[in-house]
């Protein structure tokens, strides 16, 4: 049996012809695909727990649309184009619209404008939000539960109506994407982001766990910042559009989360000795920091003491410095928790998670990272292709009876089904 494992913009081959049980775990797929433009118009005019979109925008003078975490460019372009078309039709002041896009590295406005299908050419403003730019931020108070100082982009705050456009999918650290992520981290300052992710480094996390301290803090941040309306898409793991949710920033998001959880669920029959997991390719495996989330599903499907082969290109190296420091300067997840309480650095939350995996699993990393970096700083075995990874994983075990393949670990929520 040959399997093509997603890797960067392409895939790598894996031959599974040996005599052991093989199980491929994949989430649900949709068979009917709604027309994006017509479905968007329908849902924004019949929104959940909100007045029709056309009524709301006709009563305001300025609008901010925050675009965040939509993986597929064609979906972004169609959604934003259709949303702006409705704004241009119904708004009393359609030229006073700002599109906000969050950036975490050097990105030109021309690149983003092109990615978003040129909203500036339609007469709308485009703002790149940099969480490190203190001059563009305004402090609006602290969250009531965890006293997180809330610093928000002033361009967003000045708008009469604030709209979030994003995608809902499982997330180990945020529970699920979409909804309140249009505020935190998309228009928040670095201090706000770090205080929230510190909760992920020291408290409970998990896919679709929405009552964690970090999630509660995110909700309070979005309420303080006044997110008025959201448009969120739900797609399957292959990128096919399943649903578009619109309306109240909490009610419609929760409805979308339910849909996303159903699509992410993947049944499996028994735990494996070895799991071979892909982060789903680019952009989820640009860095090891991005890809590490897929270990959550691989951990769930493997036996205690089993092996995981992580397949992730990592063309942009490791990622957040706090992640690297957390893996190279500490030895356990408990060490990370203790250090984060007094000296948190962004990325430590993923180092804590990784250390927890390494406590009971052997991890092999197939990537473009230097072997010495993988082995000395991340305490894993480095390989250059999945076949070599499988052999390395087998050599770590006394015996191997079952191998499980996870084609997209980030979008998969495994569920053990016992006959």
Query: pLDDT tens across 284-304, in order?
Result: 999 999 999 999 999 999 999
Do both 194 and 278 map to the same domain? Answer: no
Same domain, 14 and 126: no
Please enumerate in sequence order all residues whose Cβ is within 8 A of that of 203, keeping only pairs 6 or more positions apart, or say none.
212, 213, 214
Dmax (CA) for the chain in angstroms is 71
Q: What is the DSSP string of 201-224?
A: HHS---TT--SSHHHHHHHHHHHH
Each residue's pLDDT tens digit, 247-264: 999 999 999 999 999 999
Determine phi and psi for 366, rounding to 5 degrees.
Answer: -100, 110
Tally of structural domains, the chain: 2
The closest of 260, 264, 241, 261 to 82, measured between CA atoms, is: 241
pLDDT for position 222 = 97
Instruction: Judge contact between 300 and 308, C-beta under 8 A.
Output: no
Query: Alpha helices of 95-153 — where are they, by DSSP H?
Result: 109-115
The verdict on 42 and 25 lying in the same domain is no
**How many residues can be counted in the chain?**
419
Domain boundary pick from 235, 253, 280: 235
Residue 255 lies in a domain: no
pLDDT digits (tens, 9 = 90+) for 73-117: 777 788 898 999 999 998 888 789 999 999 877 778 888 888 888
Q: How confident is the model at residue 410 (pLDDT cuts 50, 70, 90)?
A: very high
Q: Are residues 43 and 148 in the same domain?
A: yes
Strands (E), 341-401: 362-366, 381-383
C-alpha pair distances (Å), 44 with each of 160, 168, 230, 367: 18, 17, 9, 42
| Cα distance between residue 110 and residue 7, in whole Å | 28
Residue 363 predicted with pLDDT over 80: yes
pLDDT for 165 equals 95
Residue 280 inside a domain? The answer is yes
When the pLDDT of each residue in the chain is averaged and rounded to a whole number, the result is 94
What is the extent of the structural domain holding 380? 2-29+265-416
User: Are 11 and 59 part of one and the same domain?
Assistant: no
Is 407 in the same domain as 287? yes
CATH classification at residue 290 = 3.90.226.30
pLDDT class of 337 with cuts at 50, 70, 90:
very high
Contacts with 121 (C-beta within 8 Å, 6 or more apart), sequence order:
113
Residues 20 and 109 in one domain: no
Instruction: Indicate if 219 and 316 belong to the same structural domain.
Output: no
- Assigned token pair, 129: 């939000």
Domain presence at residue 254: no
Judge whether residue 419 has pLDDT over 70.
no
The answer to whether residues 207 and 355 belong to one domain is: no
């Amino acid at each position: 049996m040959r399997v093509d494992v997603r890797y960067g913009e392409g895939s790598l081959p894996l031959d599974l012809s040996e005599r052991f049980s093989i199980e491929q775990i994949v989430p649900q797929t949709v068979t009917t695909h709604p027309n994006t433009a017509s479905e968007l118009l329908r849902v924004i005019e019949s929104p959940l727990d909100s007045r029709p979109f056309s009524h709301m925008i006709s009563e305001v003078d300025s609008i901010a649309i925050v675009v965040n975490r939509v993986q597929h460019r064609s979906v972004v372009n169609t959604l934003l184009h259709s949303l702006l078309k409705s704004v241009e039709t119904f708004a009393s002041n359609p030229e006073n619209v700002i599109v906000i896009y969050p950036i975490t590295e050097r990105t030109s406005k021309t690149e983003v404008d092109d990615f978003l299908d040129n909203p500036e050419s339609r007469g709308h403003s485009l703002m790149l939000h940099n969480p490190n730019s203190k001059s563009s931020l305004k402090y609006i108070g602290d969250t009531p539960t965890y006293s997180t100082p809330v610093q928000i982009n002033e361009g967003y705050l000045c708008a009469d109506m604030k709209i979030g456009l994003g995608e809902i999918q499982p997330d180990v650290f945020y529970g699920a994407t979409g909804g309140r992520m249009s505020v935190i981290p998309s228009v928040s300052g670095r201090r706000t982001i770090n205080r929230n992710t510190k909760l992920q480094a020291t408290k409970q996390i998990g896919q679709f766990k929405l009552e964690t301290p970090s999630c509660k803090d995110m909700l309070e941040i979005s309420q303080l910042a006044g997110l008025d309306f959201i448009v969120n898409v739900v797609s399957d793991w292959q990128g096919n559009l399943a649903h578009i949710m619109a309306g109240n920033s909490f009610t419609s998001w929760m409805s979308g989360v339910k849909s996303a959880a159903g699509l992410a669920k993947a049944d499996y029959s028994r735990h494996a000795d070895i799991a071979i997991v892909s982060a789903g390719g680019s952009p989820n495996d640009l860095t090891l920091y991005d890809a590490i989330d897929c270990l959550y599903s691989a951990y769930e499907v493997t036996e205690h003491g089993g092996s995981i082969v992580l397949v992730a290109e990592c063309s942009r190296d490791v990622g957040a410095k706090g992640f690297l420091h957390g893996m190279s300067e500490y030895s356990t997840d408990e060490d990370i928790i203790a250090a984060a309480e007094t000296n948190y650095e962004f990325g430590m939350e993923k180092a804590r998670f990784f250390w927890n995996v390494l406590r009971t699993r052997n991890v092999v990393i197939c990537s473009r990272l230097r072997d010495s970096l993988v082995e000395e700083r991340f305490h894993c075995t480095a390989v250059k292709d999945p076949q070599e990874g499988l052999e390395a994983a087998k050599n770590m075990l006394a015996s191997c009876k079952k191998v499980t393949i996870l084609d997209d670990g980030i979008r998969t929520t495994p569920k053990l089904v016992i006959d």
